[in-house]
């Protein structure tokens, strides 16, 4: 790793000047510090300053001595004294910047009247001078890069950290910082490559493996996140926190059965971990075992009846079972209880979102919209709440309001694949902004490449554009993956009819009739089949 700044070593000066010569006392001061005679060294530097008051060098050296003695106030005073003589003195700037940076990190004042929040900018200004042409001390680059990151200037930190990684590739922390700067600067792919490179050379670098896994999570690259968290878990197999991350990635990657096994093993180590129990219910639901999911949720709520999160989880599992009246009955009294509690806004928003989803299914659209609007007001930054509010507006026919809401979601989280897909599909359904609709859905597929619902949306947008050759592979794949989804089968039937493949169109529509029939009118669907049989 990078070496820390070292005190100058001295073999003892060869004294050729007389006792009244400033350079003589400068060298004596260095020698005395090397001998551990700090007070005598200070006196020697002060004598050099007295003899040559126009020189910044002995003042800068005195500042460095104080810094090495952890005397921050004296160091800063001496450095600033040197800079009054020569504002560009690199050593004085190095010392001043380094000490201010350390104090800023520790949130300590050098002087009682100082504003610590001003230290980082002062440190940056000093270290930028100390750095000179950028070919010198790597420690200056490291300190300056950390300051840039703390001041939200990642683009400035990147070249400094890249130099450190190039010149000292064995310094793994430098690669970790470079990846942090690259991601913050908006180049996550470069950050991923930086971390993969250091992990190839140092596979046991635990922090780097965790950082890579978390980076994949933030980029919603769930299959990659699964592999990364598995590598982390190999280094620390008994950590429930790691198991939680791995299970979350598995659920989001569509590997719910595998997630259940991971959670089961983790619960054996931490049986009272609520997060793991929550994840177990979600994994069971996503794996299609709705009865087990409901049972897990009920057990968790029985154990923690005062925790609103358990009510939310149970409500979600009842939604999955299409028991909408029970959702409303469950949540209403909990909302009444929370209305008098301080700081319960975000919890109430989640519960209102769940009840709102149930009300939508019960065709009580006005109630749902009112409830979801309230939820969005309570948690304006929660994209899950905003998503549900947008969906309610769409179902109520308030297309313009729904579009604005989904655009708000995407602005807050550009990688929200659900919002990207919903908005794209909604635009396609209304035959509006079809180019943008395709672009939005493609962005959703960049996040979740194999999501059949998103493939259906893309195929349908192409149908609306009349690009049947592009629509075919997307809709065919979606229909194969979700054969019981009536909407997808209906879209495939419409495509086949436009392709003059009437028999295939009828077959697709018949599959739609045999499917879940969600959001479809059975009579209209049968009418399409009858018309196709008559050749109309």
Domain contains 261: no
pLDDT tens column, 355-405: 999 998 898 989 999 999 999 988 888 898 999 999 999 988 899 999 999
For residue 10, name the pLDDT band (cuts at 50, 70, 90): very low
Average pLDDT, the chain: 92
Which structure tokens are listed for 510?
């018949």
For residues 458-484, give the mean pLDDT. 95
- Give the structural domain span for 82: 1-151
Distance, CA of 121 to CA of 100 (rounded, Å): 9
Q: What is the reported pLDDT for 7?
A: 39
Q: What is the reported pLDDT for 342?
A: 67
Domain contains 15: yes
- What radius of gyration, in Å, describes the C-alpha atoms of the chain? 33
The answer to whether residues 120 and 114 touch, using CB atoms and an 8 Å cutoff, is: no
Please, which residues have CB within 8 angstroms of residue 487's CB and are 6 or more apart in sequence? 456, 512, 518, 519, 520
Say whether pTM exceeds 0.75. Answer: yes
For residue 1, name the pLDDT band (cuts at 50, 70, 90): very low
Concatenated DSSP letters of 381-408: T-HHHHHHHHHHHHHTT-HHHHHHHHHH
pLDDT tens column, 429-463: 998 899 999 999 999 999 988 899 999 999 999 99
Which structure tokens are listed for 200?
């190839």
Please state, as a whole number, how many other Cβ atoms lie within 10 Å of the Cβ of residue 436: 14
Q: What is the reported pLDDT for 519?
A: 81
Three-state SS at 52: coil
pLDDT tens column, 220-229: 999 999 999 9
For residues 39-67, give the mean pLDDT. 96
Which structure tokens are listed for 417?
């694949």
Q: Contacts by 75-83 with C-beta closer than 8 Å and gap 24+?
A: 75/99, 76/100, 76/110, 82/56, 82/57, 83/56
* CA-angle at 449, arms to 516 and 234, nearest 5°: 110
CATH code of residue 62: 1.25.40.10
**Structural domains in the chain (count):** 1
How large a percentage of the chain has pLDDT more than 70? 96
Domain contains 29: yes
Which structure tokens are listed for 523?
């009579």
Domain contains 208: no
Domain contains 226: no
Domain contains 345: no
Q: What is the reported pLDDT for 343?
A: 60
The answer to whether residues 189 and 179 touch, using CB atoms and an 8 Å cutoff, is: no
Domain contains 13: yes
Domain contains 82: yes
CA-closest candidate to residue 232, choices 222, 242, 244, 221: 242
Q: Which helix (H) or strand (E) holds 45?
A: helix 38-51
The answer to whether residues 494 and 505 touch, using CB atoms and an 8 Å cutoff, is: yes
Q: Cα dihedral sign for 63, 66, 70, 74? A: negative
Distance, CA of 240 to CA of 458 (rounded, Å): 39
For residues 207-228, give the mean pLDDT. 96
Please, which residues have CB within 8 angstroms of residue 329's CB and are 6 or more apart in sequence? none
Task: Name the phi and psi angles at 408, rounded to 5.
Answer: -65, -40
Which structure tokens are listed for 451?
């999501």
* 18 pLDDT above the threshold of 60: no
Which structure tokens are listed for 258?
């595998």
Helix and strand counts by DSSP (H, E) for the chain: 29, 0
Distance, CA of 452 to CA of 455 (rounded, Å): 5
């Amino acid at each position: 790793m990078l070496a820390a700044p070292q005190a100058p070593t001295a073999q003892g000066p060869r004294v050729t000047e007389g006792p009244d010569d400033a350079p003589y006392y400068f060298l004596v001061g260095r020698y005395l510090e090397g001998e551990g005679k700090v007070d005598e060294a200070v006196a020697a530097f002060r004598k050099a300053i007295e003899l040559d008051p126009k020189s910044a060098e002995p003042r800068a050296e005195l500042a460095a001595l104080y810094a090495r003695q952890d005397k921050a106030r004296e160091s800063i005073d001496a450095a600033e004294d040197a800079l009054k003589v020569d504002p560009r003195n690199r050593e004085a700037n190095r010392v001043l910047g380094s000490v201010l940076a350390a104090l800023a990190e520790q949130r300590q004042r050098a002087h009682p009247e100082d504003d610590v929040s001003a230290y980082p900018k002062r440190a940056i200004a000093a270290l930028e001078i100390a750095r000179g042409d950028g070919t010198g001390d790597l420690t200056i680059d490291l300190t300056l890069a950390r300051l840039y990151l703390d001041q939200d200037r990642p683009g400035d930190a990147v070249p400094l950290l890249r130099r450190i990684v190039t010149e000292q590739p064995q310094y793994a922390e430098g690669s970790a910082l470079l990846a942090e700067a690259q991601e913050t600067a908006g180049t996550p792919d470069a950050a991923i490559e930086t971390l993969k490179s250091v992990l190839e050379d140092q596979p046991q670098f635990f922090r780097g493996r965790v950082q890579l896994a978390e980076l994949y999570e933030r980029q919603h690259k769930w299959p990659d996140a699964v592999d990364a968290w598995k590598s982390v878990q190999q280094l620390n197999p008994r950590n429930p926190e790691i198991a939680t991350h791995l299970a979350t990635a598995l659920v989001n990657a569509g590997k719910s059965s595998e997630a259940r096994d991971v959670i089961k093993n983790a619960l054996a180590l931490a049986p009272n971990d609520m997060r793991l129990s929550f994840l177990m219910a979600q994994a069971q639901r996503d794996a299609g075992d709705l009865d087990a999911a409901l049972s897990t949720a009920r057990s968790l709520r029985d154990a923690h009846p005062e925790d609103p999160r358990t009510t939310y989880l149970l409500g979600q599992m009842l939604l999955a079972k299409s028991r909408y009246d029970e959702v409303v009955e469950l949540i209403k009294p909990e909302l009444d209880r929370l209305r008098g509690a301080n700081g319960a806004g975000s919890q109430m928003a989640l519960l209102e979102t769940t009840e709102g989803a149930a009300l939508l299914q019960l065709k009580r659209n006005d109630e749902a919209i009112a409830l979801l609007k309230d939820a969005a007001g309570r948690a304006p930054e929660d994209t899950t709440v905003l998503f549900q509010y947008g969906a309610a507006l769409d179902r109520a026919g308030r297309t313009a309001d729904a579009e604005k809401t989904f655009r708000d979601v995407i602005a807050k989280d550009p990688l929200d694949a659900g919002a990207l897909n919903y908005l794209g599909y909604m635009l396609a359904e209304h035959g509006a902004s079809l180019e943008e609709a395709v672009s939005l859905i493609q962005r959703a597929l960049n996040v979740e490449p194999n999501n059949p619902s998103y493939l259906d949306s893309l195929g349908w947008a192409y149908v609306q554009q009349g690009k049947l050759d592009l629509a075919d592979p997307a809709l065919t794949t979606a229909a194969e993956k979700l054969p019981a989804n009536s909407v997808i089968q209906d879209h495939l039937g419409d495509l086949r009819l436009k392709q003059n493949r009437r028999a295939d169109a009828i077959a697709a529509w018949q599959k739609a009739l045999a499917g879940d029939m969600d959001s479809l009118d059975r009579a209209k669907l049968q009418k399409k089949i009858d018309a196709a049989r008559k050749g109309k």
